[in-house]
Every structure is written in structure tokens, then in C-alpha cells.
Amino acid sequence: MNEAFLYHVWKYRLFNTTALQTTTGDEVHVIKPGEQNPDSGPDFFNARIRIGQTEWAGNVEIDTTSADWFHHGHHTNKAFSKIILHVVYELNKPLTHGIPVVELKNYIDASAIHQYEQLLKSKEAIPCSKSLKAVPDITWQTWLERMVVERIEQKSKVMEQALEINKGDWEITFYHLLARNFGFKTNAIPFELLAKSIPLSALAKHKNNLLQLEALLFGQAGLLNEESGDDYYKQLKQEYKHLALKFSLTPLEKNLWKFARMRPVNFPSVRIAQFAALVHNSSHLFSKIIEVKEVKQLQKLFEAQPSAYWNQHFHFSKKAAEQNKPLGQTSIDNILINTVSPFLFVYGKMRNSEKFRERALSLLEQCKPENNSIIRLWKMTGIKPEHAWHTQGLIQLKNQYCNSKQCLHCAIGIKILKQQ
């Protein structure tokens, strides 16, 4: 038995409330269990308890055993001087502190304890997967809404920090974070380092020349260091040599980039070519994003078709079958979900504009549901997400609650345990 479960039992009164008595036989009626304290001190503040014929207002302390009162040093801590009731699961040591004591062991339904233990022992990726069908839709809807906001706020903190580093420059911050997203999971860090190594102003000066943009990006990525190569490679290398001197650039290490175990269309070389095409086709991208409302218009802003060379290449100097390599719809949606939406949320937060915060969340509802290993797990339980708003909430729920079995802090887990 752990204290976290006892807090849950007390908070939601998951015990026989009609027969509750102190260890001395006084009848106990819980009028108000109190407010749970997340910090040090008594576990519940401002409780109202009737013991016998007397109604008390004050704090409640909950321990696994009565001996914990001494083990935890409560007997010498002045913060525990206003305890009106000491609740323990098991009385294993006589107490002389003069406070009424309730031993909960005989009042908790055994099925609730069993259900909680099953969740803790579960080997399933989603511990409560077998009980999800019993959870009402309203509980799901309300909790997923909280999960979506929690996730977007989590992402927002990273963006706020980046904005602070860039002295409030929205365009530069967006450029850095967009580049990170272009690397997706595997090459996110080197892509972000690449963007930070080239001033946005340098790309802006050459945005009308796709060859020079590719030279800047591939050169800075450390991918133009080979002595030999085809004509296009040599042309880029010569351009980069000139541009590196012009802007005093130092390239990254080539070994930062990961190609192994990736589909060729996701190679960083292809992504860099797509990023060059995006820069070539757009200017003041973030300024345009805050003006656009419809998801189709946003998707159009991120359409990027690399130079013709990449139709026959995944690597430099290695020809492949002819294939157009625009940034795909799934990749564009990934950028809208993971960069554009949270960035709009931050913009609304900083500008104190509910309009942009609502637009950020609305954008998720307009994007197709994501398809990744986490979402496939949820689908196996019978959950069918309709759009990215759902999938973002499910990802947050899995990562922040299911993985660490925080069932007692999750509305879904609480509902399942209360039903037991």
C-alpha cells in the first residue's frame, strides 16, 4: 500500500463512509475531505470532519502506518499542530499524540485496491487499456482537452526561451525552430545547429538564387567537403567557398548527420534541399503565417520542390531513379502541428490575444490525425482519433501519464478506479 493511493481514496471518499469510526469507536463523518497539499506539511488542508457529536475544521494527515507519524518526524514539526484527524491504512504502533485516528484498512473496498494494484503491475504500454471502454465520452473529451493544452504549453516554453535568446525577434526564432522541425526526430539537433550557423539575413540576400541557397546550406552542413564529385557538386562547392568568405562562416561536422536506417526520401540531404526550396519560395514566413487562417493556405506556404538535380539523387554524385521530391503532405502537417500551432499559441500569449491561441488549437483540429507508434497503440485499444487535436492529446497522455503510471493524477485512471 502506498500513500499516493491513500490520498486518492481519501480525496474521492472511496471507503465505507457510513461505518467509519476512530480507533476508539467514535463515529466519523467526512463533511469535506479538504484540499490536497502538493508541498510539505499536512496532506489535506481545510477539512471538515464530524467526530462523535463535534464538528472540526482543520488539517488531515494520511500515513501508510501509524508508525510513520514518528518516522516522518511529524511529532516534532509545528506544521502538524492543527491536525484534526490522523488517517492510516494500518495501525501498527499505538499512538499517544492525542489526535483521533482512523484505520482505513477495513473500510476500503478490496476491488478498488485490486484494480489499482493491477494498473501498477500491468505490462501493457497503456496500463488501463482493458478498462477504457467503460470511460464515458465526456471524461475523455474533457481530459484530452487538458492534455492538448498541456502539450502545447510544454512546447511553448521552449519557444519562449528561444525568443528570449533572440531578443524578441519572431522571424529568426521561427526560422531556427522550423529548421529543427525539418530535421524531424532523427536530425532535429543538427538541423537547428545548421540554421543557427547561417544568419537569416545571409539567406535573405540570396533567396532569389536557389543554387546559392543550396551552396550555403549544404556547405554549412559539412556536406561539401569531398575532393571529387559531379559537376553540380563542384558548382555548389565553388559557390560555398565564396559565400563562406563573404559571411565568415564555419561549417558543421559532417558526422552530425544521420543517414542510417532511414528511408532515402527522409535523408538529411533531401531535407536540406527542400529547406533551400522553402527559403527560395518564401519571405517573412512567420509574418504571413499570422495572417493566414485556413489550413489549406498554410499548407500551401510550405510546399517546397527542390532543384531538378534532386529528382535523380538522394546523395551527391549517386544517380537514382527519377522521382520528384517535394515536401510531402504528412511532413507539412507535422510542421503545422509541431511548430506553427505552438508558435501561434506563444504569439497569442505574448500579445495577450485569445484569437491566436484559439487559432493555434483550431489548426490542430484541421490537420489529419498523426500516425506513429504511440497513436497505433491507442488504436489497438479501440480509440479512433479524428484529427491532430486528438492525437496530440493522446501523445501527451501516453508520455506524461501512462509511461510513469500516473493513474492517480489522470482523469481516465481516476474514473476507472472510482467505478471499481
Establish if 412 belongs to a structural domain.
Answer: no
Establish if 294 belongs to a structural domain.
Answer: yes
Establish if 122 belongs to a structural domain.
Answer: no
Q: Are residues 104 and 211 in the same domain?
A: no
The pLDDT tens digits for 316-343 are 989 999 999 999 999 999 999 999 999 9
Establish if 23 belongs to a structural domain.
Answer: yes
80's grid cell: 502538524
User: What does the mean pLDDT of the chain come to?
Assistant: 94
Q: Flag whether pLDDT at 1 surpasses 80.
A: no
Answer with the one of 63, 89, 108 that is the final residue of a domain. Answer: 108
Q: CB atoms < 10 A from the CB of 18, how many?
A: 8
Give Dmax (Cα) for the chain: 95
Q: What confidence category does residue 96 fall into, taking pLDDT thresholds of 50, 70 and 90?
A: confident
On whether the CB atoms of residues 19 and 107 are closer than 8 A, the answer is: yes
Query: Which residue is listed with cell 561539401?
Result: 224
Radius of gyration for the alpha carbons in the chain, expressed in angstroms and rounded: 29
The pLDDT tens digits for 175-224 are 999 999 999 999 999 999 999 999 999 999 999 999 999 999 999 999 99
Number of domains within the chain: 2
Establish if 94 belongs to a structural domain.
Answer: yes
Residue type, 60: V
On whether the CB atoms of residues 119 and 405 are closer than 8 A, the answer is: yes
Q: Flag whether pLDDT at 290 surpasses 80.
A: yes
How far apart CA 370 and CA 298 sit, in angstroms, is 18
On whether the CB atoms of residues 84 and 32 are closer than 8 A, the answer is: no
CA distances from 117 to 112, 122, 414 (A): 9, 8, 13
On whether the CB atoms of residues 139 and 412 are closer than 8 A, the answer is: yes
Establish if 158 belongs to a structural domain.
Answer: no
SS3 of 86, please? Answer: strand
Q: Flag whether pLDDT at 284 surpasses 90.
A: no
How far apart CA 83 and CA 44 sit, in angstroms, is 9
How far apart CA 115 and CA 417 sit, in angstroms, is 7
Q: Which residues pair with 103 in a beta bridge?
A: 88
Cα 311 to the chain's mean position, in Å? Answer: 36
Query: Which residue is listed with cell 496530440?
Result: 392
Q: Flag whether pLDDT at 302 surpasses 70.
A: yes
Q: Flag whether pLDDT at 420 surpasses 70.
A: no
The pLDDT tens digits for 38-78 are 898 999 999 999 999 999 999 999 999 999 999 999 999 99
For residues 390-409, average pLDDT:
96
Q: Flag whether pLDDT at 112 surpasses 90.
A: no
Residue 417 has what pLDDT? 87
Establish if 96 belongs to a structural domain.
Answer: yes
Residue 212 has what pLDDT? 98
Answer with the one of 292, 327, 362 that is the final residue of a domain. Answer: 327
CA distances from 237 to 216, 274, 326 (A): 9, 18, 24
Out of 91-105, 133-147, 369-383, pick the least confident: 91-105
Answer with the one of 283, 300, 327 that is the final residue of a domain. Answer: 327
Establish if 339 belongs to a structural domain.
Answer: no
How far apart CA 31 and CA 48 sit, in angstroms, is 5
Q: Which secondary-structure segment (H or E) carries 375?
A: helix 373-380
CA distances from 297 to 203, 264, 292, 301 (A): 24, 28, 7, 7
Residue 293 has what pLDDT? 82
> Residue 140's closest CA among 385, 387, 420?
385
Task: Write down the pTM of the prediction.
Answer: 0.84
Q: Which domain holds residue 310?
A: 206-327
H helices of 248-370, in order, are 268-281, 285-289, 295-301, 329-335, 341-350, 354-366
On whether the CB atoms of residues 31 and 50 are closer than 8 A, the answer is: yes
SS3 of 85, please? Answer: strand
DSSP state of 370: P
How far apart CA 187 and CA 255 sit, in angstroms, is 11
